[in-house]
């Protein structure tokens, strides 16, 4: 258990919590922290192009009812300064620097998509710092990705009110309506919103993700270096980083639980947020 | 919600509940029922060679805290009369006859191993009777099985105090010690224990399971006929009915959630009983 040396922010929500800053190693990191002041903090590692306000309040607030939860912008993203690196290893170093700056000696990590690659890299290299790991909609080194093709297709849906509807949700009416509800939630914060990502963020991030998946790791050395308990989560119809990745990771990891959700895409954790929160909780509390 | 026309047996446990009987269609079925008198009953369909007392009290009693749970012996098994059929379709007919005899108009099914095949057959043919389906350590039609080879290997472990230790658990010390704890639980009932299965049960059951897996169903017609929500569960190292079956079923079913557990075999639901109960509950309550 790591005591956070900040005031107890119990009751604050992602939509209302103030954005805080911590500075070191030449980077000023933006973050928000929610939940009780004690307990192992859960640090969230965000997807390609996403910032703090791209997290779903339904997920983050529910998880923060019984543990500290920290959402942050990695170097160069959102309102964090510094440069977005073009490789996962450097992103992992930046994230560890942020965790160290907060004075946390042990954390749980929830890595989503690109953030899941970063989370694997951190967990493999920091056995003591990372207690448990949650990997959502992500890929192992050498995994399968259709990032550019899917992005291109999604941007052709000019009728969509938000790129995340075609990108994160399936074509079913149930998934699309869950997507609209998700958008309502992520857009509910009006003031002090995080800064959207431009090409200075997305270009190196895309390169990092594509390079990660292009790097062959047939023996799964990275996954085998992860000894912590892992919860692997994916949607049945994730078009960018397909569910086969999740099954591959489950089989190669020494201590992983796998949860796959029906009729869902890259945003499975937002579509099935009640299931997801329940599954994460029982995993972290065990 | 189906009201059971029996007294409220809330508080009774699998180890202490009386064995009841219901008769019809020439078969006298043995069963025990636990939990509240209202709510959709969860009917358990047992594995190859297993009887009512082969269910884990840790799983059954926990599930029965908030729903009716019914464990029974299908035709010919344990203390039920009649003949054990040598095919899944007939086992499904017998199980439906039992459910009808209890006067239940809608149930949830938890089918484990052989019982999971029976559960698929029932769900595919009875869209109204079956509300939700839980498939554990089982295979689709045409699925992968190593039943005879694994049984043969297990019976060579003459040092094992119970065949289920090598059959249901991995070789790791964590899994074996979970196996010993499971055996303590299933053997804790002393009086009114169910009758063990002889060859008149296991021969036709083995034939049914092997025939089911040998019957090709490349289009997954059986799974596609199942429209109910399904929770598919398996252990990472199930040697008899490997986890690939579970992933296959997840992909072919229209509305399935998949949960796989680490370092576990065919008895994953007993080894990880706290996770399993939590996952079943959130699935059934959604």
- What pLDDT digit, counting tens, does each position of A220-251 carry? 999 999 999 999 999 999 999 999 999 999 99
User: Among residues A256, A46, A265, which one has the least CA distance to residue A133?
Assistant: A256
pLDDT, chain B, mean? 94
Q: What is the mean pLDDT of residues B251-255?
A: 98
Interface check for B226 against chain A (CB to CB < 8 A): the answer is: no
Dist. CA A179–CA A62, nearest whole Å: 18
| pLDDT recorded at residue A2 | 44
State the pLDDT confidence band at B10, using cuts at 50, 70 and 90.
low
H-only helix segments in A157-257: 164-168, 173-186, 199-214, 221-224, 243-252
Dist. CA B114–CA B205, nearest whole Å: 8
Statement: residue A123 has pLDDT above 80:
yes
Q: What percent of chain A has a predicted confidence (pLDDT) above 90? A: 91
- A19 Cβ neighbours under 8 A, 6+ residues apart: A30, A31, A32, A52, A79, A192, A194
Rounded to a whole number of angstroms, the distance from the CA of A33 to the nearest CA of chain B is 28
Q: Across the interface, do B257 and A259 touch by the CB < 8 Å criterion?
A: yes
Interface check for A185 against chain B (CB to CB < 8 A): the answer is: no
Number of H helices, E strands in chain A: 11, 8
Dist. CA A163–CA A108, nearest whole Å: 30
| pLDDT recorded at residue B158 | 76
| pLDDT recorded at residue B157 | 77
Using CB atoms, pick whichever of A236, A257, A279 lies closest to residue B261: A257
Within 8 A of B258 by CB-CB distance, chain A residues are 258-260
Interface check for B254 against chain A (CB to CB < 8 A): the answer is: yes
Interface check for A258 against chain B (CB to CB < 8 A): the answer is: yes
User: Among residues B169, B176, B199, which one has the least CA distance to residue B77?
Assistant: B199
Statement: residue B3 has pLDDT above 50:
no
A-to-B residue pairs, Cβ atoms closer than 8 angstroms: 55
From the candidates A247, A264, A274, A286, which should be mutated to test the interface with B, based on the most B CB atoms within 10 A? A247
pLDDT, chain A, mean? 94
| pLDDT recorded at residue B8 | 39
- From the CB of residue A46, how many other CB atoms can be counted at a distance below 10 Å? 25
pLDDT in tens, B127-144: 999 999 999 999 999 999
Q: Across the interface, do B258 and A263 touch by the CB < 8 Å criterion?
A: no
Give the pTM: 0.95
String of DSSP letters for B26-49: TEEEEEEEEB-SSSPPEEEE--TT
Interface check for B278 against chain A (CB to CB < 8 A): the answer is: yes
| pLDDT recorded at residue A10 | 58
Report residue B257: phi and psi, to 5°: -110, 140
């Amino acid at each position: 258990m790591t005591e956070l040396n900040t005031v107890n922010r119990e009751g604050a929500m992602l939509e209302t919590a103030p954005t805080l800053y911590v500075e070191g190693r030449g980077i000023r990191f933006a973050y928000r922290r929610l939940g009780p002041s004690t307990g192992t903090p859960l640090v969230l590692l965000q997807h390609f192009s996403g910032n703090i306000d791209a997290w779903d309040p339904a997920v983050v607030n529910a998880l923060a009812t019984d543990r500290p939860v920290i959402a942050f912008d990695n170097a160069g993203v959102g309102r964090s300064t510094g440069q977005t690196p073009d490789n996962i290893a450097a992103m992992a170093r930046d994230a560890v620097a942020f965790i160290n700056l907060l004075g946390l000696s042990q954390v749980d990590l929830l890595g989503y998509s690109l953030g899941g690659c970063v989370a694997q890299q951190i967990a493999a290299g920091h056995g003591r710092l990372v207690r448990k790991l949650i990997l959502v909609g992500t890929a192992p080194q050498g995994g399968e990705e259709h990032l550019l093709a899917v992005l291109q297709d999604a941007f052709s849906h000019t009728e969509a009110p938000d790129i995340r509807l075609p990108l994160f949700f399936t074509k079913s009416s149930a998934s699309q309506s869950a997507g609209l509800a998700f958008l309502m939630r992520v857009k509910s914060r009006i003031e002090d919103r995080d800064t959207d990502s431009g090409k200075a963020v997305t270009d190196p991030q895309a390169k990092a993700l594509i390079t990660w998946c292009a790097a062959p790791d047939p023996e799964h050395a990275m996954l085998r270096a992860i000894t912590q308990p892992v919860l692997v989560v994916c949607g049945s119809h994730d078009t960018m980083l397909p569910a086969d990745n999740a099954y591959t990771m489950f089989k190669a990891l020494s201590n992983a639980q796998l949860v796959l959700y029906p009729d869902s895409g890259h945003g499975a954790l937002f579509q099935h947020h009640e299931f997801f929160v329940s599954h994460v909780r029982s995993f972290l509390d065990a």
